[in-house]
Structures are given as C-alpha cells and as structure tokens.
C-alpha cells in the first residue's frame, strides 16, 4: 500500500492542477466532499470508520474520549467540508479551521508550496475560510460524528489587535456548541500581529474572556519559534487562566533543515511544516511537559513523517498527535501505522 501511494498516487497528486499545490489540495477536498454528501459512499466510509479503532487505541485526554490517538491537524479541512470522510482513514479526531469571526479570502495566491526534497511544505494561507457562521451551520447539519471534533479559532486579518478578543468571542459563541474542544490559534505566522497575542498581557486577557464564556476544553496552539523563557511565561498564563491543554507546535518561520534542492522555494514567505520541523517540535513538547510537570496535556504536531516520529513525540510528553504534511508525503497509511505504534505501547 505504501508503495502504491508513493509510486502512483503522490506523483499524480503533485502534478494535478499544473503542479499548483493549493489546486491539488482543493481537488482532494472536493472529492472527499462528494463522498461526504452521497449516501452510499458515506455509509461505506462510516462502516470503515467504525472498524478502524480497537479498545486499546482509546484514551481520554482533558475529559474528552478519543477512539484513537492520531488526529487530523487544523488547516487540512478548514471549513469542515469532508468531516464524515476523515474517520474512514483512521483519524481518531479532527480539527477544523482555523476559522475567523467573518469570512476572509486569505493571502494572495500562490500561497502553498511543496519542498519535496525536504518532505516539507511552506504555506502563507492567511486563515482563508468561509467564516464561523458558515462552519457552525455545516456542523449543525452534519450532527455528531464518530470521533471528536476540535475547532481552531483565529483572528481576522482586518481586526486590530486591540479588538482581537471580540473577534475570537464571535467564533467561540457560534462554534462552542458543536466542538469537543476549542483551539486558540495565536501562533500562525501568516496573519500580521497575531503572534503578539502570545505575550503575557494580551494572552491573559484573551484566555480569561474565552474561559468565562465556555466550559468546553480550551487549548492554546503555540509557535515553535518562541525561546524557552517566552514559552515558560506563556505556560504560566495558560495555567492561571485554567487552559486545558497545549498544541505544540504551529509552523516555523525558520528554514533550518531544508535540503539544498529546495533552497529557492525556501525563500518563500510563510510557515514551514514537515520533516525539518520535527526536532524542534519535539523540543517544545519536551519543554512544555517538563515546565508544567505534566499538568497540561499536549497534542504534539510538527514533522511526524513516520510511526517512529510519532513515538518520539509521545516520549517527549505528548498525549495525542496530529498529522498533516506527513499524510501528503506518506499517504493515508501513515495514520494507521502511527495509530498501531502508539497503541502497542
């Protein structure tokens, strides 16, 4: 199966849309959305999803029961157009978004680039999404899924930093009723000023407002580019604001580990994901786990390209993991391989 994807499916996928990475991504989503909409394919996908997980794969983290430890990271299905299809691949949870209070087109295209020699991706999407109201309507229409759904919340580009709290609250109020957990994205490098929300004063104000509004599990997604003292300060705020967990990490603006063959593309602005991020993401997970004494559960994400990578992430302190770029390069079988590895002890 692995040979089939890497020899046949991936080359076709990478060539589709004339090599435009975003066009290929959209094509896959359209196909999965058709599966999601049609009764027979949907029934088949639901049956496959029910058989994907065994009792040994279950775990409960921040009060939520996950049938499997491997999730789909935010960004793959921002608007939740294929929610009923993803569990059939073996995902134990799905994170949609990042969503903003109002619809926005994101940054100008091209804004998504593959770095195949590095097994990496650079994106500067800019939170392109249909808005919180549209996502809430879709989640209401779909109803409960067989796996938990997290919703990643962000700030619209046009919203001044001083008004960020209100922007997040608009999305939270619309989406909390449909979310098993809420992820507060203050770490994307592609919305101007967003990472300033990781500073103590901004973050405390934001998290206190969100915590007052909902009892749903609240997680904070952090950047891998923060120095340890800054991460420690952020964690103090999270603990004081009764945050339920951390997602570590978002993409990086650094370009360490990029292969020479990708040097031209590496100059593109945006966040880097994939293999070059793996070591740093694990370092951040290890630091968060040690700094909090395990009091804040961690979803580890970044550079997980194999079952061994996932095991290292868990060894560093993650309770769950998420995949995105690894699935692009390895195919859906990566989900099952990681799940089996993490469930085997």
Residues catalogued as catalytic? 188
Instruction: Name which of 324, 333, 230, 210 is nearest 272 in CA terms.
Output: 324
Token pair listed for 97: 């978004």
CA distance 63 to 54: 20
Nearest CA among 170, 165, 109, 164 for reference residue 134: 170
d(CA 225, CA 286): 15
Instruction: Identify each DSSP E strand in the chain by its residue range.
Output: 59-61, 64-66, 70-72, 93-99, 112-115, 120-123, 149-153, 181-185, 218-222, 245-248, 271-274, 298-301, 320-323
CB 194 within 8 A of CB 187: yes
Going from the C-alpha of 218 to that of each of 143, 215, 241, 244, 245, the distances in angstroms are 21, 8, 10, 5, 7
As given in the structure block, the two tokens for residue 61 are: 């983290």
User: DSSP class of residue 259?
Assistant: -
Residue 107 near residue 125 (C-beta atoms within 8 A) = yes
- Angle (deg, nearest 10), helices 278-292 and 307-316: 30
Q: How far is CA 8 from the centre of its chain?
A: 27
CA distance 240 to 61: 20
The tokens of 333 are what?
Answer: 């079988």
């Amino acid at each position: 199966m692995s040979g089939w994807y890497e020899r046949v499916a991936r080359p076709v996928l990478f060539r589709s849309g004339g090599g435009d990475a975003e066009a290929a991504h959209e094509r896959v989503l359209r196909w999965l959305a058709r599966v999601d909409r049609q009764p027979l394919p949907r029934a088949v996908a639901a049956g496959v999803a029910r058989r994907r997980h065994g009792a040994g794969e279950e775990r409960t983290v921040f009060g939520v029961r996950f049938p499997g430890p491997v999730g789909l990271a935010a960004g793959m299905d921002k608007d939740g157009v294929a929610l009923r299809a993803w569990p059939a691949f073996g995902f134990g949870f799905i994170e949609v978004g990042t969503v903003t209070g109002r619809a926005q087109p994101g940054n100008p295209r091209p804004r998504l680039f593959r770095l195949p020699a590095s097994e990496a991706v650079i994106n500067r999407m800019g939170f392109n999404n249909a808005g919180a109201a549209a996502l809430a309507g879709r989640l209401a229409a779909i109803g409960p899924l067989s796996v938990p759904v997290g919703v990643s919340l962000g700030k619209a580009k046009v919203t001044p930093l001083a008004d960020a709290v209100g922007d997040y609250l608009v999305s939270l109020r619309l989406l909390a009723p449909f979310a098993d957990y809420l992820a507060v994205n203050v770490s994307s490098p592609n919305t101007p000023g967003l990472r300033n929300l990781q500073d103590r004063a901004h973050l405390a104000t934001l998290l206190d407002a969100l915590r007052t509004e909902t009892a749903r599990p609240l997680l904070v997604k952090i950047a891998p580019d923060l120095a340890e003292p800054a991460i420690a300060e952020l964690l103090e705020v999270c603990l004081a604001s009764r945050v339920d967990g951390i997602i570590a990490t978002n993409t990086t603006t650094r370009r360490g580990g990029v292969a020479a063959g990708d040097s031209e593309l590496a100059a593109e602005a945006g966040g880097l994901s994939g293999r070059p991020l793996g070591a740093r993401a694990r370092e951040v997970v290890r630091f968060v786990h040690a700094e909090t004494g395990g009091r804040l559960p961690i979803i580890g994400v970044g550079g997980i390209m194999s079952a061994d990578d996932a095991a290292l992430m868990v060894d560093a302190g993650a309770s769950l993991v998420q995949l995105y770029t690894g699935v692009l390069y390895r195919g859906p079988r990566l989900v099952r391989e990681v799940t089996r590895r993490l469930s085997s002890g």
